[in-house]
A = this chain, B = another copy of it.
Amino acid sequence: MRNYTTQMDAARKGIITPEMKTVAAKEYRTEEEIRDLVAKGQVAICANKLHTCIDPNGVGSMLRTKINVNLGVSRDCKDYNIEMEKVMAAVNMGAEAIMDLSSHGNTQPFRRKLTSECPAMIGTVPVYDSVIHYQRDLATLTAKDFIDVVRLHAEDGVDFVTLHCGITRKTIEQIRKHKRKMNIVSRGGSLVFAWMCMTGEENPFYEYYDEILDICREYDVTISLGDACRPGCLADGSDVCQIEELVRLGELTKRAWEKDVQVMVEGPGHMPMDQIEANMKMQQTICMGAPFYVLGPIVTDIAPGYDHITSAIGGAIAAASGAAFLCYVTPAEHLALPNVDDVKQGIIASKIAAHAADIAKKIPHARDIDDRMGDARRNLDWDAQWECALDPETAKRIRDERKPEHEDTCSMCGKFCAVRSMNKALNGEYIDIL
């Protein structure tokens, strides 16, 4: 039997867990460094005790930036096996976390399948599942019903749960008073808000936070403190609703840490580029270095169909400025349920943002693969280029579709290829262009 409850509890007792060892090896850090960061809450190792097939990862601003992919069974895709194939494809493309946002039918079997077969961190949003699980109208659910679903997810082996604990009845008046352009765009946040409006009661995830902490401590479920008031358009960025909730999330972070429960804090959202760095720095101070998990930030509102790009811009800046964890955004965001290709585009855009930020943050060895790509390009060694490429199939397909006349170049420049000219010039060779 292990002589600790959570990773944080172990770290504080000076125990280096197997999960910490794995994280240390992956991140080129000493085990002691990781233990210390987990003890301080600056790294979360989201690993439910019952998720035994997990390949653990650490989430923290000083570690490699992680990405999350949202999937789940829906009315349109009810087949567990097909959805599981998407999950494993996402993991193979580099997703460190899968959030199961299943919204149809009996959600438990798929959730259990995830925690018994998938090596990525598994996250859920219990408030979504409450309506589905009980198959009852939102207004008829009780505070106890919600807490029971949190327990159910913990028992099913979920590694982290998004809980919108940061809004209260006061928020109702605040949202009315401040006349935000987009009010609340967090799906879970809007459900909690709607439930409070209909029942007249306090937010159960806030009111019964201590009970939730006890559950999370027992299974080592990391709480991802949801940001109900994340801005839903540029105009609402960094407004008082958002920042007041952040302050409350800081208080809740402290309360979780007092019970050795690991925490991540969720963040914006839609936001002008020039506000991103300030938001990251503010979260780091207010939440005492707890890992920041951001959705976006989406840096312009006018690009539906391309929000994987708007959020790659924002996500890269966020991660370079302190965010630890990026939620992918697909081209279908704001428009439709993403299809298989949207999922792929979203993952690649997020990986680009995360990797670019890791290089900027000087994460150990992050740039090694870029340097190998540089060598491969100088040598016009196309096979070596494919080995370094994030998506070699796509890159190879583009080149092969438009075959170059000269095997060593590509059809973009042909014999005007700068690399070819330079290699010849530096070798003292004659350069033919025509």
Contact = CB atoms under 8 A, between A and B. Distances in A.
Interface of A: 75-76, 103, 128, 131, 135-139, 175-176, 181-187, 189-191, 193-194, 197-198, 232-236, 272-274, 299-306, 308-310, 312-313, 316-317, 320, 331-339, 348-349, 352-353, 355-357, 359-362, 367, 369-371, 373-375, 377-378, 385, 388-391, 394-395, 397-399, 401-402, 404-405, 410-414, 416-419, 421-426, 428, 430-434
A175 to B, nearest CB: 7
Contact of A421 (B191, B320, B413): B191
Contacts of A432: 137-138
A181 B349 contact: no
Nearest to A135: B434
9 contacts: A137-B434, A139-B431, A182-B419, A187-B413, A197-B428, A232-B377, A302-B369, A332-B412, A336-B402
A416 B317 CA distance: 30
Given A303-B389, A385-B304, A399-B336, A425 B138 contact: no
B181 A371 contact: yes
Copies of the chain in the assembly? 2
Contacts of A395: 304-305, 335
A380 to B, nearest CB: 11
Contacts of A197: 425, 428, 431
Given A138-B431, A304-B395, A356-B310, A233 B426 contact: no
A426 B374 contact: no
Nearest to A185: B418
A334 to B, nearest CB: 7
Best-surrounded residue of A299, A371, A404 (most CB of chain B within 10 A): A299
A175 B425 CA distance: 11
B190 A422 contact: yes
A301 B360 contact: no
Nearest to A299: B356
A422 B301 contact: no
B416 A370 contact: no
Contacts of A375: 181
B334 A410 contact: yes
B336 A410 contact: yes
A174 to B, nearest CB: 12
A121 B21 CA distance: 58
Contact of A402 (B316, B337, B374): B337
Contacts of A385: 304
Contacts of A274: 320, 359-362
A137 B361 CA distance: 46
Contacts of A412: 332-338
A394 B303 CA distance: 10
Contacts of A377: 182, 232-233, 301, 334
Contact of A374 (B137, B232, B367): B232
B176 A426 contact: yes
B411 A76 contact: yes
A244 to B, nearest CB: 17
A191 to B, nearest CB: 7
Nearest to A422: B183
Which 8 pairs, one residue from A and one from B, show the smallest C-beta to C-beta distance?
A233-B374, A190-B418, A273-B360, A274-B360, A305-B394, A304-B395, A299-B356, A301-B370
A309 B349 contact: yes
Given A198-B430, A234-B374, A190 B76 contact: no
Contact of A418 (B186, B352, B362): B186
Given A139-B430, A312-B313, A402-B76, A359 B391 contact: no
B416 A359 contact: no
Contacts of A176: 426
B374 A300 contact: no
Given A300-B359, A359-B273, A190 B425 contact: yes
B416 A320 contact: no
A229 to B, nearest CB: 11
A383 B261 CA distance: 46
Contacts of A391: 303, 305-306
